[in-house]
Amino acid sequence: MRHEELGQLSWALGRLQRRPQPQWLQALLDATLPQLDSMPLLSTASLLCALRRLEYVPPAAWMVAAVRAAQRGVMEAQAVSWVVVVRVLWACRDGMQVQLAACVAWT
């Protein structure tokens, strides 16, 4: 699946509060990790929000890659929607920020 489809499917599951099996979540992370560098900011934000709604905290390495992709998306965008930026920040608060605190420095 492409990242758009994976992000939308994950977002829908989160919105419906339908938590998939851990194996499915791991497969999602495995499928999206190599795509993170090419994902547009909206896709990255949707995926992060979906994981947050599912109350799933990905491993630190995946989170670092996702946040770096989001950071790149913000820096490269001609016009950034603040709604998207807020989604990224919301998704990374609380449990996810613990994973990020030791790994990512926003520069």
Q: For 4-13, how does the pLDDT look when each residue is reduced to its tens digit (9 = 90+)?
A: 787 777 778 8
Q: For 37-55, how does the pLDDT look when each residue is reduced to its tens digit (9 = 90+)?
A: 888 887 888 888 888 888 8
The verdict on pTM exceeding 0.85 is no
- C-alpha span between 39 and 102 (Å, rounded): 24
Whole-angstrom CA distances from 47 to 36, 57, 83, 107 are 10, 12, 14, 23
